[in-house]
Amino acid sequence: MKKILKKITLKKVIVTLFVIFIVIQAFRIDTNNPPVDPAKDFIAVNKPTQEVVTILKNACYDCHSNESVYPWYSNIAPVSWWLKDHINEARHELNFSEWTTYPSLKQDKKLRKSIKEIEEGGMPLDSYTWIHKNAILNKVQQKTLTDYLNSLRTHEADKNKDNHEHEEHRD
């Protein structure tokens, strides 16, 4: 009797989960990107070398710009919800498509933080590089990118070290 009850219960759980999975597919994410104004874009404005452009496009722009390319799995909930939330959060943290809208102090803070994240292996995220193998940066690419980003720094953010921790959390 217990075996039959377990079989029926397990079957009901599986069917219920399947129905829920099908129903949540009706809740789609918006995969439209905001428009890109080249006058505001990091690459268009700073004109890095092609090597740096390739690194930025492969490892950064998919999440940190208005040029996100949504893969096939962005059509499957709940993964799509996580993906959209991740992109929204990434754009909020740093959006290369809106680069010139940041005041110079904020740009310098973003550059400093980006360099630190890259050097410490925090960016690109492992969850991104699992699927996007071309986003994995080797040591030479990391150095190329961090050297370039460092060359753009004004070091304004370093002059105000007393408030640096507090203000970085606000940015």
Each residue of 17-66: pLDDT tens digit?
A: 888 788 878 888 788 889 999 999 999 999 999 999 999 999 999 999 99
Task: Residue 134: count other Cβ atoms within 10 Å of its Cβ.
Answer: 11
d(CA 84, CA 89): 9
What does the block give as tokens for 123? 């960016």
Does some domain include residue 92? Answer: yes
Does some domain include residue 61? Answer: yes
Does some domain include residue 75? Answer: yes
State how many domains the chain has. 1
Record the pTM.
Answer: 0.80
What does the block give as tokens for 96? 């290369």
Does some domain include residue 91? Answer: yes
d(CA 57, CA 63): 10
Task: Residue 112: count other Cβ atoms within 10 Å of its Cβ.
Answer: 19
In 3D space, the residue among 76, 55, 74, 75 whose CA is nearest the CA of residue 64 turns out to be 55
Does some domain include residue 105? Answer: yes
How is residue 70 annotated by DSSP? Answer: -
The dihedral through the CA atoms of 162, 166, 168, 170 has a sign that is negative
How is residue 153 annotated by DSSP? Answer: -
Does some domain include residue 54? Answer: yes
Model confidence band, residue 4 (pLDDT cutoffs 50, 70, 90): low
Does some domain include residue 13? Answer: no
Does some domain include residue 16? Answer: no
pLDDT digits (tens, 9 = 90+) for 71-110: 888 888 998 898 899 999 999 999 999 999 999 999 999 9
* CA angle, 151 then 37 then 47, to 5°: 25
Q: Which domain holds residue 129?
A: 29-170
